Structure 1
Amino acid sequence: MTERPWTLEYLLDDKPSIQLNTKGLFHFEHLREKPGADGEVDGSDGAWEETFHSWTDSKPRGPESFGLDINFNGFEHVYGIPEHASPLSLKPTRGGGKDAYDQPYRLYNLDVFEYEHDSPMSLYGSIPFMVAHNTESTVGVFWLNAAETWIDVTHEKSSTLGNLLRLAGTGKEPSVSTHWVSESGVMDVFLLPGPSVADIYKQYSELVEQTPLPREFAIGYHQCRWNYLDQVDVLTVNDKLHEHHIPYDVIWLDIEHTDGKRYFTWDTAKFPDPVAMQQALAYHGHQLVNVVDPHIKHDVNYRIWKEANDNGYFVKNKQGTDNFQGWCWPGDSNWVDYFNPNATSWISEQFHLDKYNGSTPHLFVWNDMNEPSVFNGPEITMDKDIKHFGGWEHRDVHNIFGMLYHKATADGLRTRESPNKRPFVLSRAYFAGSQRYGAIWTGDNAADWDHLRASVPMVLSNNIAGLHFIGADVGGFFGNPSPELMTRWYQLGI
């Protein structure tokens, strides 16, 4: 370690393996005063307020970003930092010629409609974990920050002559240089020295834990679409699968099973006896999964909304004086603040059998729209300057919102019976450690060959980052696959 300028090197066999700040890009914003009328303090454009189309992002604490360059010496490939629809070996974002991306990899959980493939754009989850690997060693970096984060990747590959010189002991080692920048939050960086692959994952799992053993049915065949119409439709699908000798384990219900998009309820005209329906499925060994999204319909006569509002459990507006309100499937909606421990305990209890009317031990849960998705928000998500419990701005904690809802749901299912039983909860949004709470899927893909192709490195990148119970929508979500595409996707899924 050197002091001026400060650098840090991790040595493996007396050779630098991970290097910090060797390019001198370490920075953090200092605390400053908001500009006054005299103009004597910092008032640079965008420092205290930014406008994006019709949205204005206030920054009451001013600029708070920080960054650091991290170099992987002796490596030609780096992996991880999902979620992106990009190759497994991360493509360069600088100095890589025609194959390089023209912008950094972005980590910022978003509800992305028909996302692009082969792109560093943000998707539904964010795991700021990167691994460098070669035939001799494996090292990693875990950048523990939940704010919007950008990562540049530069490959400094050796030429043929350089490789020959290196074999002779005089050439320069290849390396991958990365530059990490987060908008706000805390700088908390873990260096994982390896040197073996097994060592890396032992070190990483001590930080974020491992994937628990799932329920047996959870690794079987799941039959899901948007949307089965009613109770008769569900039981007809069940009967037809049996008639054609197609084994399955779980059938799923999307938002239309509810009473007007009020979660924890049923549309009683369409599902007059949900308990009998679940029992009919369970008789043949099948389970049911209901979607339960995090937005709560703003309705003073809706028990869930009224209890949350009366107890002050909703996320607040940027002034901290009233509930944040946005638009999602039910229309006007509010969001429970999962940074409030009392609110989290309360929402977990709503999954208990005595609270969730019409539920049985054979009902499990699907968390969708938990990036969170806000239809009338900037980039279809929450404003960055709204307030969470404890004084946090949403910008500081955005990428863990979905994971906290996933955790609350899993805790509710785990404790609804005595003795406790392992839950099954599928989530769309995620962060490092989400594997502790259930399965993940890669999001709303399209029924085309490019998305089939992209699903393989997407799943593998998440595997590298600690998510092992993950998959893609077989056949795609948007559009209708051809018989050939559907067949090939089933082959891949199985």
Structure 2
Amino acid sequence: MARLLIIVYFTSAFLSSFVPVQGVDRGNFKTCQQSSFCRRCRAMEPSNSAYELLMNTLKVETSSIEAEMINSRNLVTFKFQFFALTDGTFRMKINELNPIKPRFEVQDALVGEPLLEKLELVERKADKISIKCGSNIATIIAKPFRVDIHDENNILISANARGLMKFEHYRLKVPQTDPEEGEPDQVPVINDIELGDEEGAWEETFKSHHDSKPHGPSAVAMDFSFPSGESIYGIPEHADSFSLKSTADTDPYRLYNLDVFEYELDNPMALYGSIPLVLAHGVSKTVGVFWHNAAETWVDIKSKGEVTSGGSVGGAAAGMVSSIVSFVSGKAGSDDGNDAGGEPKGRPSNIDARFMSESGIIDVFFLMGPKPQDVSRQYAKLTGTATFPPYFAFGYHQSRWNYNDQDDVKSVDAGFDEHDIPCDVIWLDIEHTNGKRYFTWDKVKFPNPKEMIDHESAKGRKMVAIVDPHIKRDGGYFLHNDAEANDYYVKTKDGKVYEGWCWPGSSSYLDFFDEKVNEYYSSRYLFNNYVGSTEDLHIWNDMNEPSVFNGPEVTMPKDCVHAGGLWEHRDVHNAYALEHVKVTMDGLLRRTDGRLRPFILTRGHFAGSQRYAGVWTGDNAAEWSHLRVSIPMCLSISIAGIPMCGADITGFFKYPTPELFIRWYQAGAFQPFYRAHSHIDTKRREPWLMGDEALRLVREALRTRYSLLPFWYSLAREHETTGVPYMRPLWYQYPSERATFSIDNEYLLGDALLVHPVTEAGARYVTVYFPGEGKDVWYDFFTLEKIPGVGNVQIPVTIEKIPLYQRGGTIIPKKERIRRSSTLTQGDPFTLVVALDSKGEASGMLYLDDGKSYEFRDGKYIELFFKFAQDKLTSRVVNANSQYTTKERLEKVIIIGMAANFTRAEVESQEFGKMIVDSYYDDQSQVLVIRKPWVNIGSSWTLQLLK
């Protein structure tokens, strides 16, 4: 009822379009044509760039070069810097040389200052300079400005190859006069002849919202070409295909964190998160570009083979070819005049991405691969790997907006036990609070929160509560009073506290770009401040785009100010959610003195958010199309550095059919974050409410998920050490196999499992593509049968069938005793599933620690490497000086694809010496089962098969 009253008042006070409606109201969100800076940038014609380096200012340092740059059309000067970084990567920064005020540079996306590498000077001439870092060479051409990065044979990335760089300097609209002196201020006014009288440059109106621009237009843009690329991926978050589409006939992809209600599919509209990273992939190379900018950004994509008009592309493209040919032939730097040569009309262009941001600086990282895993590692060195999840995070999460009260929570909890369904976490949405006041509890519905949480803890379960960034403007609310008294809120352009509308009604927003605010906010999570919380209560940060129901595009006005007026919201918008989860993580660490690993889920996200939280794909719907799109959405997020991704199981809006309900639980069981969640107005849909068949099949899917928790946890360790995602596109493991480049309805978990969820109603078969071009062997995960054929194979499916396959050559750890929560499986024995390749070999790994603390950082973990070859299975402890011990045992070994019968096995370990155990062989399925080797799973041992 409270929510209904707020909505009624809201609609009477503002426009009805702000109230959630059926489907997205696209009129609430800008197109590129309605965004003046996007319109200006996109109107540029590919040509020779107006920007040039002043080579007489060039300085070469140990790890960098620096020079002044000028726009030859308006004579504005810039500072150009180019850095050699570790791992053969590069960074380029361009900023105003003398801005009238500092321009915002993103701080917290990076894990720290990138490590520099000593550069090697290859050549230096009057019009260019080449430097080498690792095996990669960067050739920087002065006029027109361009950067070509190449290896010994091919150009891999070219910046400003199409001449679409733009850097709009800060300026004053009119000269300012000092009233005492009567003289104009000394800051010069530079007229930009490229700008002209373009509408929206100095101020802009969208619907009823006016955006003042006190420093005028401030856009930055640059194009990047990938000559060896055949497909391009990344720049999440969009509800679209995994492979990025050409935007020649559409709006560009938009990166602007927005609360989009019931989003549409198959278009480039902005959603909740923005990660400005693209990966260009070809059969021989994978490279990436990370556009380090937190302002609103539009990205144009040009696909390979797309015909360009006239000869506009490439001055540069031909120049790139010429310069690399000269380099390889030993004529690098020859003054043959070809650097600015033209390309024949109508010639197909390269894969190309053009980034256009409203403000900030040009700050670009070039990730040089050459393999997909290398790009992941290089990006992780910059923005960090994901926070290592506690073990329970990979279990099943049950949520709803909202569980009514403590009795409801107890009833749902009991339902899982009654129906023999495992569950690890129960979630509480906004209605658990006292009138949408975060860090509080509804005293009637949730009078004893600690008792409620402890009840779950006793069963090995956890709880998650929501904490949003909007603060209810209420004189009886301690957080609002503290924020008002201590100046913690975001301000308007006039210096007043900004007031918007969100779930509580009138709300203000904490300024997470102010350190004193962060110190205060993180302290709210301390147990003595967040009364009723315990170490088993974890946090959900929602609505942190930030969502403002009556704001422009349902978010905060761009001319609001942060950090005492230092930055406008336009500068920092996409990083607001990052700062929110960063301070949340700090608070959760403080409450246990850094002892325990928190779990945080966030909706808004940016580069670097992975260090603090997982994400989900937002307000989806109970429709087959939304189930299908969850796969490319999570693949995009995964390769952009955030491996913990999932979609609301069975859809947030609407109500699923029993078939869709079953299929979504089956599909979700193989995505990293596994949570059911639904809208407050939908019918209840706990797993036992959809009929007996749904209950049985959902239980089976959940039990399969829980059996594989050791595998998921080991993937988390692999990501922690290498940066590779849990969930991977097929081309990630098979980079030279072109047939995989466009596939986004199936994927790999690690390098071992191939998942092809059933996403069509009434499906009787699915066409599964088995990669490896016949060199790899694949086995059905459930039947253990070898898959006949290669490439596209038609697989019959019934409602019970989950198309899941193990690659030959891999070893997967499992726990087959399924309990009501993952915590209760600690101490249970393991099963190893050994899938043999064509050589009769396989390998794998297992990671063990306490599943909850940070003691693994002090060496308290065990990492095991398994190898099967010559009829012997070997376990080796990788970290020989491990300080962690376990009593868990190896209960069973299943070897599939075994052509010969072995009746026994000799197990040798330090604990037991040598002993003989029995085995069972099925010659029809070619499966060998070794029962109860019973060695300590965390030790080194061998298992030799005997006939």
Query: What TM-score, normalized by structure 1, do the two folds share?
Result: 0.93
Q: 1:87 aligns with which of 241, 255, 263?
A: 241
- Please state whether the residue corresponding to 1:200 is helix, strand or coil: helix
**8 Å contact kept, 1:73–1:173:** no
Match for residue 465 of structure 1? 640
1:385 and 1:371 map into 2 onto residues whose CA distance is: 16
The answer as to 2:293 corresponding to 1:145 is yes
The offset of 1:199, in angstroms, is: 1.9
Equivalent residue number for residue 230 of structure 2: 76
Contact 2:165/2:221 (<8 A) preserved: yes
The aligned runs of 1:303-318 (5 Å cut-off) are: 303-318=478-493
Contact map agreement 1:402 1:430 (CA 8 A) in 2? yes
After TM superposition, give the deviation of residue 36 of structure 1 in Å: 7.4
Structure 1: distance between partners of 2:159 and 2:479: 49
What is residue 587 of structure 2 aligned with on the other side?
Answer: 412
* Contact 2:599–2:613 (CA under 8 A) maintained in structure 1: yes
Report the identity percentage. 51
On the 8 A contact 2:225/2:353 being kept in 1, the answer is yes
Which residue number corresponds to residue 925 of structure 2? none
Which of these residues, 133, 157, 166, is aligned with residue 18 of structure 1?
A: 157
Which residue of the partner structure matches residue 930 of structure 2? none
Q: Secondary structure at the match of 1:267?
A: coil
Q: 369-378 vs 402-411, which deviates more?
A: 402-411
Note the C-alpha offset of 1:288.
0.8
Q: Distance in 1 between matches of 2:253 and 2:207?
A: 23
Q: Deviations over 1:143-176 (max 9, x none)?
A: 00000001111113289xxxxxxxxx9x989720
For 2:651 and 2:245, the matched residues in 1 are separated by 25
Tell me the equivalent position of 1:182.
357
**Counterpart residue number, 1:155:** 303
Counterpart residue number, 1:351: 525
Structure 2 counterpart of 1:164: none
What is the CA–CA distance in structure 1 between the aligned matches of 2:169 and 2:560, rounded to whole Å?
22
* Matching residue within 504, 515, 526 for 1:341: 515
Which runs of no fewer than 5 residues in structure 1 stay unpaired?
Answer: 95-100, 160-168
8 Å CA contact 1:447–1:476 kept in 2: the answer is yes
Task: Name the CA distance, whole Å, in 1 between partners of 2:532 and 2:415.
Answer: 25
| Paired AA for residue 281 in structure 2 | H
SS at match of 2:393: helix
Equivalent in the alignment of 2:148: 9
- Cα distance in 2 for partners of 1:14, 1:31 equals 41
Label 1:57 to 1:16 Cα distance change in 2 as closer, same or farther (>3 A). same
- Cα deviation code 1:316-358 (max 9, x no counterpart): 11112x2111000001101110000110111011011110011
Q: How far, CA to CA, are the matches of 1:394 and 1:40 in structure 2? A: 25
Cα–Cα, structure 1 residues 439 and 31, in superposed 2: closer, same or farther, change >3 Å? closer
Structure 1 distance, partners of 2:662, 2:512, is 41
Contact 1:35/1:43, CA 8 A, preserved across alignment: no
Letter in 1 for 2:155: P
CA contact (8 A) 2:212 2:559 kept: yes
Cα shift readout 1:46-75 (whole Å, capped 9, x = no counterpart): 111111111100000100001111001121
C-alpha displacement at 1:12, in angstroms?
A: 2.4
What residue in structure 2 maps to residue 394 of structure 1? 569
- Deviation for aligned residue 1:20: 1.0
How far apart in 1 are the matches of 2:270 and 2:252? 10
Matched, 1:61 2:215: yes
Contact preservation (8 Å) 1:254, 1:290:
yes
Root mean square deviation, CA, Å: 1.9
Partner Cα distance (1:405, 1:158) in 2: 41
Query: CA shift at 1:198, angstroms?
Result: 2.4
1:330 match: 504
Pair 1:63–1:224, CA change in 2 (3 A)? same
The residue matched to 2:561 in structure 1 has which SS? coil
Which digits, 9 at most, give the CA deviation of each residue in 1:347-397, with x for residues without a partner?
011011110011111111100100000000001000000010051000000
| 1:215 matches 2:403 | no
- Correspondence for 2:559: 385
Structure with a larger share of its residues in strand: 2
Structure 2 residue corresponding to 1:49, chosen from 183, 203, 207: 203
1:229-269 deviation digits (Å, cap 9, x = unpaired):
00110001111111111110000011110111001111111
Helix, strand or coil for the counterpart of 2:362? coil
Q: Quick one: higher RCO (CA 8 Å, sep 6+), 1 or 2?
A: 1
Confirm or deny: 8 A CA contact 2:229 2:285 kept in the other structure.
no
CA distance in 2, matches of 1:432, 1:423: 20
SS of structure 1 residue aligned to 2:580: helix
Equivalent residues, number: 476
Indicate if the aligned counterparts of 1:48 and 1:60 stay in contact, CA closer than 8 A.
yes
- Residue matched to 1:103: 251
Aligned to 1:79, what secondary structure does the other structure show? Answer: strand
Question: In the alignment, which residue of structure 1 is the partner of 2:435?
Answer: 260
For 1:246, the equivalent position in structure 2 comes to 421
Distance between the aligned counterparts of 1:123 and 1:135, measured in 2?
31
Alignment CA distance shift 1:109-1:179 (3 Å): same
Which of 84, 97, 112 does residue 260 from structure 2 map onto? 112
Instruction: Report if aligned partners of 1:415, 1:421 keep a CA contact under 8 Å in 2.
Output: no
SS of the equivalent of 1:51 reads: strand
Task: Judge which range, 110-119 or 410-419, deviates more.
Answer: 410-419
Equivalent pair of 2:236/2:636 in contact (CA under 8 Å): yes
The more displaced of 104-113 and 130-139 is: 130-139
Q: Which residue of 1 aligns with 2:453?
A: 278
**Structure 1 match to 2:473:** 298
Instruction: Give the Cα–Cα distance (whole angstroms) in 1 for the partners of residues 423 and 203 of structure 2.
Output: 53
- The partner residue of 1:367 within 531, 541, 554 is 541
Question: CA 1:63 to 1:173, structure 2 compared with 1: closer, same or farther past 3 Å?
Answer: closer
The alignment partner of 1:188 has SS state of: strand
Distance in 2, matches of 1:237 and 1:40, equals 66
Contact 1:385 1:395 in 2 (8 A): yes
CA pair 422-40 structure 1, distance change in 2 beyond 3 A: closer
Contact 1:76 1:157 in 2 (8 A): no
> 1:105 touches 1:121 (CA, 8 Å); kept in 2?
yes
Deviations 1:409-432 (A, max 9, x none): 111111101452111110000000
Match among 375, 378, 400 for residue 225 of structure 1: 400
SS in 1 for 2:386: coil
User: What SS class does the counterpart of residue 415 from structure 1 fall into?
Assistant: helix
Q: Give the match for residue 132 of structure 1.
A: 280
Displacement after TM superposition at 1:86 (Å) = 1.1
- Give me the whole-angstrom Cα distance separating, in 1, the residues matched to 2:304 and 2:239: 23
- In 2, distance between residues paired with 1:186 and 1:231? 50
Q: Which residue of 2 aligns with 1:492?
A: 667
Contact kept, 8 Å, 2:511 with 2:563, in 1: the verdict is yes
SS class of match (1:156) = coil
* Structure number with bigger Rg: 2
* Range that drifts further, 188-197 or 414-423: 414-423
Q: Is the 8 A contact 1:373 1:380 kept in 2?
A: yes
Is residue 132–residue 140 contact of structure 1 (8 Å, CA) maintained in 2?
yes
Partners of 1:120 and 1:288 in 2: CA distance = 35
Rounded to whole Å, the distance in 2 between the matches of 1:376 and 1:419 is: 39
